[in-house]
Amino acid sequence: MALTSTDLHAALPLLAQGKVRDIYAIDDSTLLFVATDRISAYDVIMKNGIQDKGKLLTQISKFWFSLLGDVCPNHYVSSDISTLPAAVLPYKDQLAGRSMIVRKYKILPIEAIVRGYLTGSAWKEYKSKGTVHGIKVRQGMQDSEAFDVPIFTPSTKAELGQHDENIHPSEAAKLIGAENAKKVEELALKLYTTARDYAATRGIIIADTKFEFGVDESGSIVLVDEVLTPDSSRFWRADTYEIGKSQDSYDKQFLRNWLTANNLAYKDGVEMPDDIALKTREKYVEAYEQLTGEKWTM
C-alpha cells in the first residue's frame, strides 16, 4: 500500500510538505526528510501514490550522495532512525527505508538544471525559437540529440501548486548573486558529467537532471534535497536510444505520456489507474537496480 502522507503526532515539528517529502525539525541544525509515495507530474500531485516510491527515491539518493561526495559536499547525515529522539520511534513503520537525517542549510531559490540532451520543454522552446532557456544553441538539432557540451539551464523554484519557470543563467545570477550562480553552475555541470559517465557504464543515459543547493555558514555551496532520482532526472535506456524520437525511459515520463494522451496534464485531482501506477513503480525499481547493480528487496 502506498504511503502518501506521514503523521508523527507532534513527536517532531512538521516544517513543510513538498510534492514528495515531509520535512520535520529534529533540532536547530538537523532535519528529518521523509520521502512519501506521492508522485507529481507537470507540477501537479496525483491523487494516489506509487507503492515504495519514497523508499526507492531515498535509496537512489543515498547511492548518489556517496558516489558524488568527492565532487560536492552534501547534506546527508544518516538513515539510522534508531538515532532519532525516542518519541519518534513508535512511528518507525512510516520512516523505515524512506527517511534521511540531513543537515539544515539556507536553500538557494533556484533549480540547477543541467541538460545533456535536447528534450522536454527545451525541445519545445528550441523548435519555436532556436534557443534553450534563452541560450542560442546549434542549428539543425533533432529531438533527443546530445548537445555538443552539457548546458546549465536554471529555473525558478516555485511554491507548491505553482509552476517552475525556465530562466536564463543571467537571471539566476540576479536571484542568488553572481558568485553563487557561478559556483552552482560549475558544481552542477561537474556533478552531471560525473554521474552521466558512471550511468553510461550501467546502460543508462542521463538526459537531464536538476540539483538543489544550499549555503553553509562559511558561504560554501552544499548539495541538498534528492539527487539524480527518476523524479528529478530523465533516465533513458542506452540500448534503445535513437535520435529524433521519444525515448524509452526509466523515469516518470511514462506517467507524463499517459497524462498527455488523456488530456489530463496540469489538471488537479487525477487518480492513476492501477496499471499505470504499477508500471510506473516498475520503472523506478528498474532504475534502482540498473544504477546500483543491486536487487530491490525492500
Q: Is residue 171 part of a domain?
A: yes
Q: How much is the pTM? A: 0.94
pLDDT for position 9: 80
Band of residue 70 on the pLDDT scale cut at 50, 70, 90: very high
How does DSSP classify residue 108?
Answer: P
Residues 159 and 213 in one domain: yes
Residues 127 and 195 in one domain: yes
Residues 93 and 143 in one domain: no
Q: Is residue 277 part of a domain?
A: no
Q: Where a domain ends, among 104, 127, 150?
A: 104
Residues 157 and 237 in one domain: yes
Task: Tell how far CA 271 is from the center of its chain.
Answer: 22
**141: CATH:** 3.30.470.20
Which helix (H) or strand (E) covers residue 254, if one does? helix 253-261
Strands (E), the chain: 14-17, 21-27, 30-35, 40-41, 44-45, 76-78, 99-103, 106-107, 110-117, 131-132, 135-136, 146-152, 155-156, 204-215, 221-224, 233-237
Q: Where a domain ends, among 77, 104, 131?
A: 104
Q: Is residue 96 part of a domain?
A: yes
Q: Where a domain ends, among 230, 251, 272?
A: 251
What integer is the mean pLDDT of 47-64?
Answer: 97
Which among 231, 138, 220, 227 is positioned nearest to 184, based on CA atoms?
220
Residues 162 and 40 in one domain: no
Residues 234 and 115 in one domain: yes
Q: Is residue 263 part of a domain?
A: no
Which residue(s) pair with 205 in the sheet?
Answer: 236
Q: Is residue 49 part of a domain?
A: yes
Residues 56 and 176 in one domain: no
Residues 137 and 236 in one domain: yes
Q: Three cell numbers at 228?
A: 539524480
Q: Is residue 175 part of a domain?
A: yes
pLDDT for position 42: 86
Cβ atoms of 242 and 269 within 8 Å: the answer is no
In this predicted structure, the answer to whether residue 43 has a pLDDT above a threshold of 90 is no
Q: Is residue 212 part of a domain?
A: yes
**64: CATH:** 3.30.200.20
Q: How many domains does the chain have?
A: 2
In this predicted structure, the answer to whether residue 15 has a pLDDT above a threshold of 70 is yes
Which residue(s) pair with 235 in the sheet?
Answer: 206
Q: In degrees to the nearest 10, what's the CA dihedral of 259, 260, 265, 268? A: -30
What DSSP string describes 76-105? EEE--GGGS-GGGGGGHHHHTTTEEEEE--
Residues 129 and 201 in one domain: yes
Which among 127, 145, 123, 139 is positioned nearest to 243, based on CA atoms?
145
Residues 146 and 80 in one domain: no
Residues 124 and 86 in one domain: no
Residues 111 and 100 in one domain: no
pLDDT tens column, 190-249:
999 999 999 999 999 999 999 999 999 999 999 999 999 999 999 999 999 999 998 988
Q: Domain limits at 152?
A: 107-251
Cβ atoms of 39 and 4 within 8 Å: the answer is no
What integer is the mean pLDDT of 172-197?
Answer: 97
Q: Is residue 262 part of a domain?
A: no
Compute CA distances 289 → 1, 8, 59, 95, 233, whole Å: 21, 31, 11, 22, 16
